[in-house]
Amino acid sequence: MGAALTRVVPDKAAMLPLVETVLSWDLNRGSLPEVDVSLDLVKAFTAYGRVLEGELAAVCRRLPADSDLRCGPEATLSEAARRLYMPPPGCSERGAAHRAQNLARLIQALLRGTGSAAPAPADEGTV
């Protein structure tokens, strides 16, 4: 039997530390990450973002068409449709790092929209 070829998409536990790392980059000061590092992250964020885009679209479909709750998620989906399907960035360090940061922010927005963002810490007094 032939093995099914599937693209492996990193899971949330693997992606969140990468998102935090990329968002900590100061692109205006200091040294920029190497182009290959940024481009690898762009690929990973794009793949993961497309998965989240599908999940958020499913969330939107479950909401009534006239619900105000759809406004934010639909705006995020619109942004995802634009950013996740752009051609790869050029080979400049700044351009690749900038794209990686933009996609990291989009990942955060998609996670918020799907309701799978990190939960707020629980109060110690609750059971």
Q: Is residue 3 part of a domain?
A: no
Whether the CB-CB separation of 15 and 44 falls below 8 Å is answered with: yes
Q: Are 22 and 41 in contact (CB under 8 A)?
A: yes
Say if 99 falls within a structural domain: yes
Q: Does any domain span residue 111?
A: yes
Give domain status of residue 37, yes or no. Answer: no
Show Cβ contacts of residue 100 under 8 Å, excluding neighbours closer than 6 positions. 22, 25, 33, 38, 41, 42, 45
**Number of domains, the chain:** 1
pLDDT tens-digit series, residues 16-59: 999 999 999 999 887 899 999 999 999 999 999 999 999 999 98
Q: Is residue 110 part of a domain?
A: yes
pLDDT in tens, 77-126: 999 999 999 998 888 999 999 999 999 999 999 999 988 654 444 444 44
The domain of 101 spans 67-115
